[in-house]
Amino acid sequence: MQRVKKVGYDIFVDILGGILAGVGIYSFAASAGFPLAGISGIALIFYRLFGVPIGLGTILLNIPIVLFSYKVLGRRFLLRSLQSIVISSLILDYVVPLFPVYDGNRMLAAVCTGVFSGLGYAVIFMNHSSTGGMDFVSVAIRKKHPYLSLGRIVFVLDVLVVLLGGLVFKDVDATIYGLIITYLLSAVIDKMMYGIDAGKMTLIVTDKGRDVAACIDQYAGRGSTIWKGSGAYSGQEKDVVMCACNNKQMYEIRKKVKEIDGKAFTIIMESNEVVGEGFKKE
C-alpha cells in the first residue's frame, strides 16, 4: 500500500509540474516566439523550423543524453526521471494545447514563462526527479560540485541555448526576452528549492555564552550550540554561540546579545536552507 501511495504521489507531482512547465512553454513562450533554454528550447527550435511536436522532440533529444548520463546519475534517479519525461512530454503535446494561448504584451509573456516554467521544474526537482535533457547535465554537475546551486548551473547552460535560438530565429528582442526568462526561471527554481526554507545563521563570539544561549532560547525559541574558541593574537578563551533562525528572530537576537554583552562580536550570514528540528525535515 505504501508503494502504491508513493507511485501515485510521484505521478501527481509529475502531472502538476508538467502542466506548470507546459503552460509556460506552450501558452506563453511558443506563442510569443521566444527562444527557450535547455532541451525544451532546442525542441522549440525544431517545432518552429520543422513543425515537430515539442513533446516528441523533447523525448527524442533526451535519448542520447539518458544513455550518457546513466552511470553518473544512477539507475533509480534515471528511472524516476524517465517517468517525469514521458508524463511532462505527453502533457505538453496533448493537454496544454487545450489551454488558452496568451497573445498580449511580450514582457508579461516573458515573466509568465519564467515563473510558470520555474515552478514546474522546481516541483519535479524537489521530488528527486527531473525532466531530462539539460536537467540531467545540471544534476550531474551538481553531484560533482554540490556547493553550486542548481539554479545557477541551469542559468549558465540555458543562456547558451537561448543565444543559439536567437541566432536561428534572428530576433534580437526575442533573444533578450529569452535571457530574461532564463534568469527568472533559475531564480524561481532556487527560491522554491532553497528560499522557502532560507533563514539566517549567526556566530556570536562572547564571554557570556551561556547567557546568550539562554536569551536565544527565551526570545526566539531556538536552540544553539556553544563552541570553545581562543583569540589567535591574545590567546584569550571565548565562547562561540552558533544559532540558525528566521530573519525576524535574528533581529531580536542581535538586539538582545548587545544588551547582554556589549563587547560581543556577532557575525550574521544568509542560510540558503536549514534542515532539522524546528525547520524543514529532510
Domains in the chain, CATH or no CATH each: 2-193 (no CATH), 198-271 (3.30.70.120)
Beta strands at 265-271 and 199-206: parallel, antiparallel or unpaired? antiparallel
Please write the tens of the pLDDT for every residue from 208-232.
889 988 888 887 777 888 988 888 7
Give this prediction's pTM.
0.65
Angle at 125 between CA 105 and CA 4, to 5 degrees: 120
Distant-in-sequence, close-in-space partners of 138: CB < 8 Å, separation ≥ 6: 130, 150, 153, 154, 157
DSSP 56-94: HHHHHHHHHHHHHHHHHH-HHHHHHHHHHHHHHHHIIII
Residue pair 273/194 in contact by the 8 Å Cβ criterion: yes
pLDDT at position 248 is: 67
Please write the tens of the pLDDT for every residue from 147-167.
676 667 767 777 777 887 777
pLDDT at position 30 is: 80
pLDDT at position 108 is: 93
pLDDT at position 112 is: 93
pLDDT at position 116 is: 93
Per-residue pLDDT of the chain (282 residues; tens, 9 = 90+): 777 788 889 899 999 999 999 899 888 988 887 877 777 778 877 887 788 887 788 788 877 777 766 666 677 777 778 888 889 888 988 899 899 999 889 999 999 999 999 899 888 888 877 776 676 777 677 777 776 766 677 677 777 778 877 777 777 888 888 888 888 887 887 777 766 555 678 899 998 889 988 888 887 777 888 988 888 777 888 989 998 877 667 777 888 888 888 888 888 887 666 665 555 555
Q: Which of 194, 202, 211 is nearest to 249 (CA)?
A: 202
